[in-house]
Structure 1
Amino acid sequence: MFKHPKESRVTITQLMLPSHSNFSGKIHGGHILNLMDQIAFACASKHSGYYCVTASVNRVDFLNPIEVGELVTLKASVNYTGRTSMVVGLRVESENIQTGKIKHCNSSYFTMVAKDDNGKNAKVPGIILDSEQAIRRFARSIVRQEQARHRSTKFKSSEFKIEEHIDTIKQHNAKIEFGLK
């Protein structure tokens, strides 16, 4: 079975209140992350028909601050489907209600896993790639997964070669107080 991404696309808009702000008066990043996780869950569950859990979050960059009183819109769409997992692409925008100015605040990718009633991984429907953008998103997800696997292997303690990294580390704001043999 295959489904179109538009069948599970989810959009939510929420007014940012003072209770959502941090000590500097901007909307707390943790609040935005919570909303992102909720919409990723809704999108993945809608696509799969199962309860879904967050397996990983790929890169969260806060590009622009969000102000109290702005409307925040989160958009989620399934970009990739594996056997039991999905990559949900998220976009966060804020809108100043008075000026109508819209800011792109964040884009991120949540890997969600479908779970059956017994808590076991459940098979998910595939995704129908019906545009160049859909194919690009799917291909980008494949590359991102390969890069993640490479990163985790390269820095696995049994594979890590300290000599390969010392010169790079010395160029950064760190002091090495570890005796190399």
Structure 2
Amino acid sequence: MDAKPVSASRTTMSDLVLPPDTNNHGTIFGGRVMAYVDKLASITAMRHARMPVVTASSDSLDFLAPIRVGEAIILEAFVTCTYKTSMEIFCKIESENLLTGERRLTGASYLTFVGLGPDGKPAPVPPVYPETDEEKRHYETAPERRAHRIERRLAKREVLEASQPAR
């Protein structure tokens, strides 16, 4: 399977934040942002792997600043690293005041997706290689994030198993 550049998966999306998208503070619902992130990351993963994918995990989605009604939400995502059947996706979230052109970083998240074969089971995905300095930073730090994810998943599994009633 041939490796692909990160740039082949880079995906962007913009939308206007309207009143139904917002809470009583006039800022976008966090859940709406989460849905945008998951959708854009799905497109990014499918664009890279050229196969169906599923979300395996989402690292913390950090909300750094609010996005207000009337502003644009702008998301950008790309594959940062791949493993045998999984891909780590980085998603950056910005807002834009459409009247002034001012842009602000409003959030970021890493997600993991798994490629699925025709049988619906995990399937190998193409390797990825970084080209820009930004892409190289994400690529080089991906193994540490993956180790934390695995550790977090094992800890959750232990907690859930311990909370199950004895059979």
Match of 2:71 in 1: 70
Q: How does 1:100-111 map onto structure 2 within 5 Å?
A: 100-111=101-112
Q: How does 1:26-175 map onto structure 2 within 5 Å?
A: 26-153=27-154, 156-157=158-159
Identity %: 34
Unaligned 5+ runs, structure 1: 161-181
TM-score where L is the length of structure 2: 0.88
**CA deviation profile, 1:111-149 (whole Å, cap 9, x unmatched):** 011112221111100012334433321221110111233
**CA deviation profile, 1:66-101 (whole Å, cap 9, x unmatched):** 001101110001001011110000000000111211
How many residue pairs are counted as aligned between the two chains? 159
Runs of 4+ in 1 over 3 A off after TM superposition: 150-157
Bigger RCO of structures 1 and 2 (CA < 8 A, at least 6 apart): 2
Q: How does 1:12-31 map onto structure 2 within 5 Å?
A: 12-31=13-32
Quote how far apart the aligned CAs of 1:153 are.
Answer: 4.7
CA separation in 2, counterparts of 1:118 and 1:151?
29
Quote how far apart the aligned CAs of 1:154 are.
Answer: 5.7
CA separation in 2, counterparts of 1:55 and 1:46?
17
Q: Summarize the Cα distance change of 1:88–1:98 in structure 2 as closer, same or farther, 3 Å threshold.
A: same
CA separation in 2, counterparts of 1:124 and 1:43?
13
